[in-house]
Amino acid sequence: MTEALLLILTSLALAWPLGLYLARLMRGTPMRIDVLFHWIEKPLYRVLGVDPNHSMSWRGYVVAFLISNLVLAVLTQAVFMTQAWLPFNPDNIPNLRWDTALHTMVSFLTNTNQQHYSGQAQLSYLSQMTGITGLQVITPMMGLALAVATLRALFAKAPAATTADSHTPVRVTVGNYYADVVRLCLRFLLPLCLIWALLLTWQGVPSTLAAGPQATPIDASAGMETQKIPLGPVAAMVAVKQLGANGGGWYGPNSSVPLENPTPLSNALELIGILLIPMAIIFMIGSFTGRRKFGALVFGCMLTLSVLSTAGSLWSESHSATSTSALLMEGKETRLGSDGTALWSSITTQVQNGSVNGMHDSLSPLTGMISLVNMLISAIWGGIGCGLQQFIVYIMMSVFLAGLMTGRTPELFGRKLETPQVRLLAVLILLQPITLLGLTALTLAIPGLAGTSNPGFHGISQVFYEYVSAYANNGSGFEGLADNTIWWNVTCSLVLALGRFPILIIPLVIATQLAAKRQAPQSSGSLQIETPTFALTLICVIVVLTVLQFMPALVLGPVADHLSLTLQGATSP
């Protein structure tokens, strides 16, 4: 627990000034570093053919977002399916199969990085550097740009000409998409990645373009005369996978591989990297919007949920009835201890990062359930951009429910939430259970589709976890699945897209609809959301909307798994 507290405190100390810098960056406040970056940014704007000073409507912003995703999708798919004929392939790795390439492309395009392949064995250096690491830089900043645009709309001042009986459409602008993404990549994420890559290289993470060496196995009975040790520019990829809430890994077993995570210090750096930017975004809110109490509300709720989740994971992995079961020891992190694995599993699912330093399939059932709940909430710190968008959805739902309970028309910052906005919220709230429960039931109902390694309760958890991880843009897995099949690749690609694009776009649409409305002055009858009472209401709404509606799946999976292992331990001699 001491390690967890030090980790959170260190992350908070680093995130606070970073959040203030991020707020100045997205407000366009002049800074001394402008001279350094203008000479890089101006040619990019000329190539893109955009005016960075032109502010877009929400439609223009969303269209630009979708077009950029489409272009990246086509280019990345082409690289994956032709990597055998392209340069930087010293290990002569063949092309990816079409469905594996499709899933991998969608996974990294959606900032999820769910892997149905083994990185070092099935991707060339070029694929890792462009299709993987390249998307890991761009896609999280795309999500953050959408979140910033939503904040601009949500806190926009109503035009003076807007009146209660006016029928003239009001044009609400939310910034320039291309300028936002370029500034975030060049001035924010890439400098951080450079620092983290150097620190990881210092700790022994490989950073080379040379082919891996050949080694002679100590145990001759293994049947291998030599073994190839895969290397590559690993440090740069690990830096951005952690800082960009990307997850995945250069190696299939991820940060449980000593080459990817060689020392306790590298382990701490990678954990801090997971938390740093999501926390910085929360610190950005108060300064960026001028509503510091609102920023404090978001931070307080997220921190409360984070502490509860982390404490629960550490307890269930070390002190629950099944924590010492021999059946759960395979896959545990032995270098850093089971507490280190539990801490990482909690943090990586709170942030929607998805990287691992031990196999989640080997977690105790209750720890696995906490990881599932973290991803179902999707807003305990959350992914970069999409986590804040999801939290805004919870705020709007809480305002709507609080209005119903008090008999008032629900208002958010003086603007009424009416039927069009509530319908859009309902789409987001219903999309999650329909997608996850429907596909889980279908996969389990048709023999041969699931490919689980465990036919019991744990098998249900394996299937449910895979779809939850995809929808939450997390990417971690229980594993134990034969997931590199056409069924898993195609259905997970669908879930990845459904979990990414609606949650980024719909809150922006709602915010711009609210921004076009007349803003009522605050009065004693207005709902005050920046209060402890509303924070408690908000947390209760989050629990009801996530945990309770998925309770049957959680009971049939991890809860039943826990009870069966407990019973087995009680009856064994």
pLDDT at position 490, please?
Answer: 95
DSSP 327: G
Residues 112-128 have a mean pLDDT of 82
pLDDT tens, 514-564? Answer: 998 888 777 666 778 889 999 999 999 999 888 888 999 999 999 998 888
Distance CA 163, CA 124 (A): 60
Torsion of CA 230, 235, 236, 238, to 10 degrees: 90
Say how far apart CA 236 and CA 239 lie, in whole Å: 5
Q: Residue 351 has which token pair?
A: 């942030």
In this predicted structure, the answer to whether residue 31 has a pLDDT above a threshold of 80 is: yes
Ranges of each domain in the chain: 386-519+526-568
The per-residue pLDDT for range 480-525, each reduced to its tens digit, is 788 889 999 999 999 999 999 999 999 999 999 999 888 877 766 6
% pLDDT > 90, the chain: 56
Mean pLDDT of the chain: 88
How many angstroms separate the CA atoms of 467 and 458, rounded?
Answer: 15
Residue found under tokens 């040619």:
43
Q: Which of 21-30, 52-61, 105-114, 222-231 has the lowest mean pLDDT?
A: 222-231
pLDDT(144) > 90: yes
How many CA atoms within 13 Å lie on the side-chain side of 520?
15
How far, rounded to the nearest angstrom, does the alpha carbon of residue 518 sit from its chain's CA centroid? 35
Q: Do the Cβ atoms of 91 and 228 come closer than 8 Å?
A: yes
DSSP structure string for 336-354: T-HHHHHHHHHHHHHTT--
Task: Assess whether pLDDT exceeds 80 at residue 441.
Answer: yes
What would the two tokens of residue 309 be? 């989740």
Host H or E run for residue 412: strand 411-412
End-to-end CA distance of the chain: 33
State the pTM of this model.
0.91
Q: In whole angstroms, give the CA distance from residue 114 to residue 353.
A: 10
pLDDT in tens, 280-336: 999 999 999 989 999 999 999 999 999 999 999 988 888 766 666 666 666 666 677
DSSP alpha helices (H): ranges in 290-336?
292-318
Q: Does residue 56 have a pLDDT over 70?
A: yes
Please determine, for residue 568, whether its predicted confidence score (pLDDT) is greater than 80.
Answer: no
Looking at residue 163, what is its pLDDT?
A: 46
Does residue 422 register a pLDDT over 50? yes
Reading the block at residue 227, the tokens are 């073994």
pLDDT in tens, 171-216: 789 999 999 999 999 999 999 999 999 999 999 998 887 777 778 7
pLDDT tens per residue across span 243-296: 998 877 777 778 888 888 999 899 999 999 999 999 999 999 999 998 999 999
256 Cβ neighbours under 8 A, 6+ residues apart: 333, 356, 357, 358, 359
* 287 within 8 A of 29, measured Cβ to Cβ: no
Angle in degrees, 0-180, between the axes of helices 365-377 and 292-318, rounded to the nearest 10: 160
Return the pLDDT at 231. 83
For residue 527, report the phi and psi dihedrals to the nearest 5 degrees: -75, 120
Residue 514: DSSP 8-state: H
Tell whether the model's pLDDT for residue 398 goes beyond 90.
yes
Whole-number Å distance between alpha carbons of 362 and 453: 12
Q: What's the token pair of residue 109?
A: 């395009």
Asked whether 145 and 179 are in contact (CB, 8 A), the reply is: no
Report yes or no: 204 and 171 within 8 Å, Cβ to Cβ.
no
From CA 306, how far away is CA 373, in angstroms rounded? 12
